[in-house]
Amino acid sequence: MNNRPRRNRKSEVVRSLVRETKVTTEDLIFPLFLLESPSTSIEVNSMPGIYRLGLEKMLSEIEECMRLGIKSFDVFPVVEEKHKDKTATKSYDDSFFYLKALRKIKQEFPEACIITDVAMDPYSSDGHDGLVDKNGNILNDETLDILAKMTLAQAETGIDVIGPSDMMDGRVGHLRQELDVNGFENVSIMSYSAKYASSFYGPFRDALDSAPKSGDKKTYQMDPANQREALIEAELDVLEGADFLMVKPALSYLDVIKTLKDNFELPIAAYNVSGEYSMVCAAAEKGWLEKDAVMNEVLLSIKRAGADVILSYYAKEFAKKS
Ligand code: PBG
């Protein structure tokens, strides 16, 4: 027998020499949920170990993460019902806690990479990412103007990257132009290029209290059955000026990550979403899976598929253990 592939697996030292993929803390972005009340910290029911944090708590959390080597954060606002309306006005109100907090975070941690979320759903009384008309349709072009105001307000706080997660057509180009004409040509766009209408977002909507009040998101988020359509979305985002192309969720969409990686030169991001995190936690709580080992394997498989950057709720745990 000339070929014995097992020789390259015979010891940890040999295995580590031939290992093709390695996840490092620098690959990871940690999503954070911001609460209005500054000194509050509330665990998300469906996401063990993940907390919604007021600004004070979040500053300490970021400090701790930075020491562990996590330097990129995606901050999402938890908006109380009383602040929500049809047109998401709070999303571009300078005195709103999310925008004030972003400014403070950037002041305290200028060396961190702070990513914001651009979509109407946390601020919308309809719970949709876009503007809803009286027949329940999501209005594309009218939404772009609201997203542009939101983007500008976020850019003014000094953040590094905006993350449009809304899936309206033309939004990357529209937001790129809005940023550029206002002197924010250095603010990057991490576009949620292939964002699927997935059932894995449940725990996130729990955390933000942002589930749609009626209908679903299938007229704007992609059909989970489609891979080739991701090429159309990604190509448009490249032409419109995106800096990163994201696939979301990650685990059930590894083929999409690979397809985008093979077809585009921009960095590929993958969002290891809330449901993917919670599933592992739940099985681990039952003693059915070993959480750390499975999470490591999950991150590894997402990177192996082609992701350069991974957004994961597991980021801090990973950093602690590596
Ligand atoms: C909304 C948004 C969602 C997530 C990120 N931004 C949920 C949705 O589209 O309903 C999901 C993230 C996760 O599940 O971890 N614009």
What is the 7 CA–ligand 1 centroid distance (Å)? Answer: 44
Ligand 1 atom nearest 313 alpha carbon: 15
Helix (H, G, I), strand (E, B) or coil at 247: strand
161 Cα–ligand 1 center, Å = 17
Residue 211 DSSP code = -
The residue that leads in pLDDT, 299 or 214, is 299
Tell me if 291 CB under 6 Å of ligand 1: no
State if residue 273 touches ligand 1 by the CB under 6 angstroms criterion.
yes
Per-residue pLDDT tens digits for 171-219: 999 999 999 999 999 999 999 999 999 999 999 998 988 899 999 999 9
Q: Which atom from ligand 1 is nearest to the alpha carbon of 129?
A: 16
**Contact in structure between 222 and 288 (CB atoms under 8 Å):** no
Over the chain, what is the mean pLDDT? Answer: 97
Instruction: List 74's β-bridge partners, or say none.
Output: 31, 115
Active site residue 134: no
Closest CA to 120 of 110, 132, 111: 132
The tokens 């590094």 sit on which residue? 160
Cβ atoms of 208 and 119 closer than 8 Å? no
Whole-prediction pTM value?
A: 0.97
Structure confidence by residue, pLDDT tens digits, 21-74: 999 999 999 999 999 999 999 999 999 999 999 999 999 999 999 999 999 999
The DSSP secondary-structure symbol of 308 reads S
Q: Active site residue: 195, 217, 261, 316, which one?
A: 195
**Chain segment 224-271, per-residue pLDDT in tens:** 999 999 999 999 999 999 999 999 999 999 999 999 999 999 999 999
The secondary structure of 88-136, three-state, reads CHHHHCCCCHHHHHHHHHHHHCCCCEEEEEECCCCCECCCCCCEECCCC
Alpha helices per DSSP H over the chain: 12-18, 55-68, 97-108, 140-155, 171-181, 202-208, 228-240, 254-263, 274-285, 291-305, 315-321
Per the annotation, the verdict on 248 as an active-site residue is yes
Q: Is the CB of 205 under 6 A from ligand 1?
A: yes
Band of the pLDDT at 119, cuts 50, 70, 90?
very high
Looking at residue 234, what is its pLDDT?
98
How many Å lie between the centroid of ligand 1 and the Cα of residue 94? Answer: 23
322 pLDDT above the threshold of 90: no
